[in-house]
Structure formats: C-alpha cells, structure tokens
Amino acid sequence: MRLLPAIAIAAILVILPYFFPSAYYYRIGALVFIFALAVVGLNLLMGFAGQVSLGHAGFLGIGAYSVVIGPVYFGLPSWLSLFAGAALSGVIAFLVGRPILRLKGHYLAVATLGFGLLVAIVLTNEAGWTGGPDGLSVPRLTLFGWQVRGSNAWYWITGATLVAGFVLALNLMSSPTGRALQAIHDSEIAALVLGVDVARKKLTVFTISAVYASVAGSYLALFNGHVTPDVAGFLRSIELVAMVVLGGMGSIVGSLVGAAVLVVLPQALTIFHEYEQAMLGLIVMVFMIFLRRGIVPSLAAAFAGWRK
C-alpha cells in the first residue's frame, strides 16, 4: 500500500514517547524530525530525480530567517512567516533552478554549492536585517493564542509535519510526475523521447525540495529560539546530503533513519570527548562500507535475501 511507510512512522512516533526517560529525549526527537523533513525533500531531488544539491542549507537559511524577519520587521505572525518563507524559497528555487538545472553531475553540484554560499554570505553581511554573524533571537511561535513552549510540544508539531511531508512525498512517487522523475534519473534521453519535459520536471522537484528545506529551517529557528548564518552554511548542506546517502537514496523511510543517525550519534558519542567528531566520521565510513546503498535499502535487500 502506498502510504504504509507513513502510517508505520506515525505509529512509531506516537508510541516512542512512552519509552522516553526524560524531556531531553523529546528535544532529540524534534531535532530528528526537523532534519528528516529537509532530508525527505532533498531525497526527492537526489534519490528520485538523480539531481544533486550541495546548497540546500541555503533554503534552510531562508526558512529560518523568515520566522525572525517576518514577525520582527513586518509584524506578521510566525506561522504566516513560515508559509511566506516557504513561498519565497519556492520562488527563488524556481528562478535559480532554471539556469543551473541544465548542468549535470559535478557541474550542478558546484553551481548549487555556489548558491548555498551566496545565501550564507548575504545572511552574514546584511547585519541590519539579520544581526550578522551573531544572529538574532527568534520570537516564539504562537498558535491560536497558545504560545508553543517546551520540547514536548515541539515533538508533536514537528512529528505531525514530518508525517504530512512523508505522505506528500509518497503520493508524488506513485504519480505521473513521480514516474517521470525516476525515469529522468535512469535515462534523460529515453524520458525525453517518451514526451517527458525533462527541464520542467527537474525544476518542479527542485522547487518542491526547496520548500521542504525552508519549512524545516523555520522549525529549526523557532525550536532553537536563536538563529545564526551557520544554519545556511556549507557544513549544513553537506550534513543534509550525508543524511540522504546514509539513510538511502530514494528511500523515504531512509530519510528519517539517516537524519536520526546523524542527529543522535553525536549526542551518544560525547563520551569520547575530543574524539567525538572522529568517532562519528569512523562510524559513518563503516556504515557506508557495509551498507553501501544506504541503511534502509541495504537492510531491506538483505532481509529479502534472507527470507528466500
């Protein structure tokens, strides 16, 4: 069934808190869901359509700053600013995507990288609006007169949004557009002679993935209560790509697994003190060597083989 992964994830999400020893775990859960949302979007672009982006944190940044600039400078409610940021990210992706999605492979990677750097530099330099390198504090989200506080509330808000993001992504995959995107991944030329408007389809999925990243960025800013240009930095973009590849290219469930591993592991590895980052790198390498197609597709294939 098409939506089975989304239903399974929703069930896990609801059950999980019963095993949480402290509120700290809600916080980790919310962070995982926020990153997973951005990763699902990026996976549509990379895993399905086969187009790489090394600048997706740029859209994370646009989303993050929109929930500061909207309320502080224009007096908009935070939730409306989130939607405005998503719309802005979509428009920017559409305009930027038109010229750069003509590029292929490494050339596309470098062009998207440039876009991400550009956003980060603008956020750093336009200090009058963004507070510069020190960033800004983010006004709290208020929904229906209720001010959202506490990791507990954020766990449910981000979890529900993630499930919605899953449903949309799964719908897209089993639609005419989704089939065309997968076809583009395998053979652009064959897709083209079968009537697929390749350039337009690439632009569509790039725009969708930018909106996912933007919403995730807004949540990240609202959840942390503070935002700096690092949110749009190169390392963030690389982290998103690593989550996609680690979880599994083209696997929607893998997006959550990839995000979970790269959010939870650093927390668990603090026992290694100054070697924390080194251990993280080592573990990721081991994962990729033994589960080269990504965690979820590799384990699924192993399980299918074992059942036979």
Interface segment toward another protein; rule CB under 8 A; list 10-18, 137-145, 171-179, 274-282: 171-179
Query: Is residue 195 involved in binding another protein (CB under 8 A)?
Result: yes
Nearer of residues 138 and 208 to another protein, judged by Cβ: 208
DSSP label of 227: E
Query: Is residue 244 involved in binding another protein (CB under 8 A)?
Result: no
Nearer of residues 98 and 179 to another protein, judged by Cβ: 179
Query: Is residue 87 involved in binding another protein (CB under 8 A)?
Result: no
DSSP H helix total and E strand total for the chain: 14, 4
Interface segment toward another protein; rule CB under 8 A; list 59-67, 150-158, 175-183, 232-240: 175-183
Query: Is residue 171 involved in binding another protein (CB under 8 A)?
Result: yes
Q: Are 297 and 286 in contact, with CB atoms under 8 Å apart?
A: no
Interface segment toward another protein; rule CB under 8 A; list 76-84, 91-99, 191-199, 263-271: 191-199
Query: Is residue 137 involved in binding another protein (CB under 8 A)?
Result: no
Distance CA 52, CA 42 (A): 9
Nearer of residues 171 and 224 to another protein, judged by Cβ: 171
273 alpha-carbon distance from chain centroid: 28
Query: Is residue 196 involved in binding another protein (CB under 8 A)?
Result: yes
Backbone φ and ψ of 195, nearest 5°: 95, 5
Residue 261 C-beta-side C-alpha neighbours within 13 Å: 26
Nearer of residues 168 and 238 to another protein, judged by Cβ: 168
Nearer of residues 82 and 211 to another protein, judged by Cβ: 211
Query: Is residue 122 involved in binding another protein (CB under 8 A)?
Result: no
Query: Is residue 198 involved in binding another protein (CB under 8 A)?
Result: yes
**Run of H or E residues at 226:** strand 226-227
Distance CA 297, CA 295 (A): 6
Q: Give 124-191 as a DSSP string.
A: HH-HHHH-GGG-EEPPPPEETTEE--HHHHHHHHHHHHHHHHHHHHHHHHTSHHHHHHHHHHH-HHHH
**In whole angstroms, how close is the CB of 208 to another protein at the nearest point?**
8
Q: Which of 14, 95, 194, 302 binds another protein (CB under 8 A)?
A: 194
**Run of H or E residues at 253:** helix 252-268
Interface segment toward another protein; rule CB under 8 A; list 79-87, 153-161, 196-204, 251-259: 196-204
- Nearest CA-CA partner of 172 in 207, 223, 218, 128: 207
Q: List residues binding another protein (CB under 8 A).
A: 2, 168, 171-172, 174-180, 182-183, 185-187, 189-198, 204, 208, 250
